[in-house]
Amino acid sequence: MKKEIKKEKKSGKGKLLVKFLYGSKRFFIVSIVASIIVAVTDTVNPQIIRYAVDTVLGDKKSGLPKYANDLISGIGGVDFLRNNLWTLAVAVMIVATAAAIFRYIQRMSNAKASQTLVERMRNLLFDHIQTLPFSWHMKNQTGDVIQRCTSDVETVKNFLSEQLIGIMQIVLQVGLSLTMMYSMHVKLSIVATLTLPVILIYSALLGKKIGQGFKECDEAESALSAATQENLTGVRVVRSFGREKHEVDKFAKLNKNYLMKWLKLSRLTSMFWGLGDLFSGIQVMLIVILGVNFCVNGGMTSGELIAFISYNAMLSWPIRRLGRMISEMSKAGISMERLAYILDSESETDREGALEPDLHGDIVFDNVSFAYDNCPELLHNISFTAKAGSTVGILGGTGSGKSTLMHLLGRLYDLPDDGSGGKITINGTDIKDIKAKHIRRNVGTVLQEPYLFSRTLAENIAITSDTVNMDEVRRAAAIASLDETVMSFTDGYDTFVGEKGVTLSGGQKQRAAIARMLTQNAPIMIFDDSLSAVDAETDAKIRNALSTNLGDSTVFLISHRTATLMNSDLIIVLEHGRIAEMGDHNTLMQKEDGIYKKIYTIQMSDPDDIDGEVA
């Protein structure tokens, strides 16, 4: 499988963020305002303590702003505070309480914002994935897409709810702390400031490497998730062929690669934090040594030193967090690119003025040729007409293009716009001029490997429409020769079907899929080798029931059994993507060396050889 998903498409991250933030923006704004108030209140208490030590307990002149001095004078001045020290303690408690209240508001608003953000991101991604063309899903591994919609969504959420708001709070807190520090002692503030550029520089340098490391880890995790999802989905195949050891070794290899990527990343992050501890420790040591020296020599008061150390603590840790956030920004940037790949992938679109015509009419394949992306041409100049209400049988070997023809009819793939691949018309209208949803509502398809959801049988059969009732479910099941079997189950139609129908036999799954398609009442029905898992007697029974109940629907039967196709109005034999033979059963049987006759003769002489030889 081509790893098309690795080809990341550049997208405006700012524009994508705006789209994600719709609905959660107001919560983020409240959180930002509350964080600003918290940052401001955190700078007040060191000043109260400084005033208490230098002015109330000592005899230094107040260094508080005029409005603060006026407030103190209004309650009795310094003498009152000196005789009632408890008032200073109360002031500290009031400020701390205010900070706690706004910190609570900030965290609650942030929690609401982040969860609203995640809800919107997941809805946007899931909705967009539903609109992506069938070819996109074929190119991209399910496990990798799931990992992007879970792990990468969580990474972006964490950045926006924790790092981004944290950066704003840190910048404000650092600015206020530095302002207070410089107002108290310029020389000591310069010493405290000298380490900041160093921390920011090494954070930027390591941040780039850490971001690349996170990208490699994400890709390794995607591969691991894809392998796990594939293994769990195909567990019966693994067990049937005794391939447990092979799968375990494959998983261990991918897991080892994931481990090594994370160990490499851990070395980088450990270096980042180690350098941070080193520079922070040096800074604190210098502040304490020089600050004590200034106090001894009279260049600084004891209260100023206590307040200065408090502000320095507010400075050094946020700066280290800021460095970490720079590295987290790199990780979030990678995740944004991975999410942008999905959202930037082009949705399936219809032509302007696309129609919703009546699809009860002749179906014409006119010189149809087709090739999958980067592959040789598979279909070559296919031309035939399926009359309205007729049954068309298609016979061909593996890779002859049988299913591709039907994918084109259902517009799961489109022919080239320039007309080089011919065209397909239904009731005289080019299918490219018909809305894709309209075609799919009116073209029922049953695949050889039907997919059933983890729901009850009734829910699986009635999934085509919200209006399907139980009577319609049972009628469709009866036509598919399933009703009698289901009624023998303990829970009947309430029997829960495991993932992908694992609790049912192959034939039961195919018949359930046929019943599901019949509830669609589509004017065009495609049975893509969908009777291969049932015995010949049940095959005949289902075909007889279908011929009686399908009314004026046009039916396409793809099968390796000539017995399934022999009553078709038109039988097409494909060989290497070309029409080798075409006609009804009697016409094809008249060809002495014909492919159809050869297969029919083999199968009729040996009923066990239902596949026959085509090429």
Domains and CATH numbers, the chain: 10-344 (1.20.1560.10), 391-401+442-605 (3.40.50.300)
pLDDT of residue 9 exceeding 50, the answer is no
3-state percent breakdown (helix, strand, coil) of the chain, nearest 5: 65, 10, 25
Closest residue by Cα to residue 110 from 18, 23, 28, 25: 28
Compute the average pLDDT of residues 530-536.
71
- The string of pLDDT tens digits covering residues 429-456 is 999 999 988 998 888 888 777 788 888 8
Q: Which of 284 and 523 is assigned the larger pLDDT? A: 523
pLDDT value of position 384: 94
The CA distances from residue 75 to 78, 82, 91, 358, in Å, are: 9, 12, 13, 88
pLDDT value of position 319: 67
Report the alpha-carbon distance of residue 151 to residue 154 in Å, rounded.
Answer: 5
Instruction: Please give the structure tokens belonging to residue 370.
Output: 């087709």
Compute the average pLDDT of residues 229-243.
70
pLDDT value of position 370: 92
Identify the band that residue 242 occupies on the pLDDT scale cut at 50, 70 and 90: confident
Report the alpha-carbon distance of residue 219 to residue 441 in Å, rounded.
Answer: 37
Identify the band that residue 563 occupies on the pLDDT scale cut at 50, 70 and 90: confident
- The string of pLDDT tens digits covering residues 107-128 is 898 888 888 888 898 999 999 9
pLDDT value of position 606: 60
Compute the average pLDDT of residues 503-521.
84
- The string of pLDDT tens digits covering residues 21-62 is 888 888 888 988 888 888 888 888 887 887 788 777 777 776
- The string of pLDDT tens digits covering residues 260-269 is 888 888 888 7
pLDDT of residue 537 exceeding 50, the answer is yes
pLDDT of residue 612 exceeding 70, the answer is no
Compute the average pLDDT of residues 561-572.
88
pLDDT of residue 280 exceeding 60, the answer is yes
Q: Nearest 5°: CA angle at 534, between 530 and 536?
A: 110
- Could you report how far apart the first and last alpha carbons of the chain are, in Å? 27
Q: How many CA atoms lie within 13 A of 84 on its CB side?
A: 11
Compute the average pLDDT of residues 174-189.
82
Report the alpha-carbon distance of residue 500 to residue 486 in Å, rounded.
Answer: 17
Task: Look at phi and psi of residue 23 and say left if phi exceeds 0, alpha if psi is from -120 to 50, else beta.
Answer: left
pLDDT of residue 325 exceeding 80, the answer is no
Contact 269, 210 (CB under 8 A): yes
Report the alpha-carbon distance of residue 235 to residue 426 in Å, rounded.
Answer: 41
Query: SS3 for 343?
Result: helix
Report the alpha-carbon distance of residue 319 to residue 66 in Å, rounded.
Answer: 31
- Helical (H) or strand (E) element with 155: helix 153-158
Average per-residue pLDDT for the chain: 82
Query: Exposed e or buried b for every residue in 558-588, given b needs 16+ CB within 10 A?
Result: bbbbbbbbbbbebbbbbbebebbbbbebeeb
The DSSP output letter for 346 is P
Residue 409, exposed/middle/buried by CB under 10 A (0-12, 13-18, 19+)?
buried
Query: SS3 for 614?
Result: coil
Sign of CA dihedral 432, 433, 436, 441: negative
Compute the average pLDDT of residues 480-497.
86
- The string of pLDDT tens digits covering residues 463-482 is 888 888 899 889 988 888 88
Report the alpha-carbon distance of residue 326 to residue 211 in Å, rounded.
Answer: 9
Q: Which of 228 and 371 is assigned the larger pLDDT? A: 371
Q: Which amino acid is at 28?
A: F
Compute the average pLDDT of residues 542-568.
83
Widest distance between CA atoms in the chain: 123
pLDDT value of position 302: 81
- The string of pLDDT tens digits covering residues 302-317 is 887 888 888 787 776 6
pLDDT of residue 572 exceeding 90, the answer is yes
Please name every residue paired with 558 in a beta bridge, in sequence order, or none if there are none: 394, 528
Compute the average pLDDT of residues 59-85.
74
Compute the average pLDDT of residues 532-537.
71
pLDDT of residue 106 exceeding 80, the answer is yes
Identify the band that residue 614 occupies on the pLDDT scale cut at 50, 70 and 90: very low
**Long-range contacts, stretch 226-229, CB < 8 angstroms, 24+ apart:** 226/141, 226/142, 226/143, 226/144, 226/147, 227/143, 227/251, 227/254, 228/143, 229/141, 229/142, 229/143, 229/146
Compute the average pLDDT of residues 582-590.
92
Please enumerate in sequence order all residues whose Cβ is within 8 A of that of 473, keeping only pairs 6 or more positions apart, or say none. 458, 461, 462, 493, 515, 519
pLDDT value of position 320: 63
Q: Which amino acid is at 442?
A: N
Q: Which of 32-41, 223-232, 579-588 has the lowest mean pLDDT?
A: 223-232
Q: Which of 220-229, 324-333, 510-519 has the lowest mean pLDDT?
A: 324-333
Please enumerate in sequence order all residues whose Cβ is within 8 A of that of 223, keeping only pairs 6 or more positions apart, or say none. 144, 254, 257, 258
Compute the average pLDDT of residues 387-410.
88
pLDDT of residue 366 exceeding 90, the answer is yes
Residue 593, exposed/middle/buried by CB under 10 A (0-12, 13-18, 19+)?
exposed
The DSSP output letter for 52 is I
Identify the band that residue 202 occupies on the pLDDT scale cut at 50, 70 and 90: confident
